[in-house]
Amino acid sequence: MVERVLRAVECVPPGRVASYGLIGALVGAGPRQVGAVLSRYGDGVPWWRIVNASGELPAPLLARALPRWRREGIEPAPHGRGCRYGRFAADAERLRSAVEARLAELE
DNA sequence: GTTATGACTCCAG
DNA sequence: ACTGGAGCCATAA
């Protein structure tokens, strides 16, 4: 499961974000499992592109994510907790096929 | 086997 | 907008 989550996260393109819930749905896990995996094994994958369903990130993480967001063109939302999910979310359908292909490589 | 624990999500107040 | 509670389910102990 850990591998599946990490691979799926790698499929989120730069400048876009995906929710824990979406990633979970794509790999067959719950949102909290996605968070749990990133918490332990998150370094090495673009964890800053994974946000909650409202486009937000817990404060400590947001602080580390902002510089990378700026580099990728993801703008912080007015309320300052994250970004506008509707604006920066990766296309769900496209992400689904990308993840499907990536997971197939795992054999 | 059971229990506790989350980088979550949804919905009601 | 914020808070509380139920549901969630793989992992770790």
Q: Give the residue among A20, A18, A29 at the shortest CA–CA distance from A93.
A: A18
Whether A78 sits with its Cβ under 7 A from any strand C atom: the answer reads: no
- In the predicted model, what is the mean pLDDT of residues A85-94? 95
What are the pLDDT digits (tens) for A27-58?
Answer: 999 999 999 999 999 899 999 999 999 999 99
Distance, CA of A102 to CA of A107 (rounded, Å): 10
Residue A94, CB, strand C, below 7 Å: no
CA A50 / C1′ B4 distance in Å: 26
Where residue A107 falls among pLDDT bands split at 50, 70, 90?
low
- Per residue in A65-77, pLDDT (tens digit) is 999 999 999 999 9
Any atom of strand B under 7 A from CB of A21?
Answer: yes
Strand, coil or helix: what is A82? strand
CB-neighbour burial class of residue A8 (10 A; exposed 0-12, middle 13-18, buried 19+): buried
- pLDDT for the residue numbered A31: 95
Predicted TM-score (pTM) of the model is 0.92
Instruction: Classify residue A70 as exposed, middle or buried by CB count within 10 Å of its CB (0-12, 13-18, 19+).
Output: exposed
Chain C bases closer than 7 angstroms to a protein Cβ: 1, 7-12
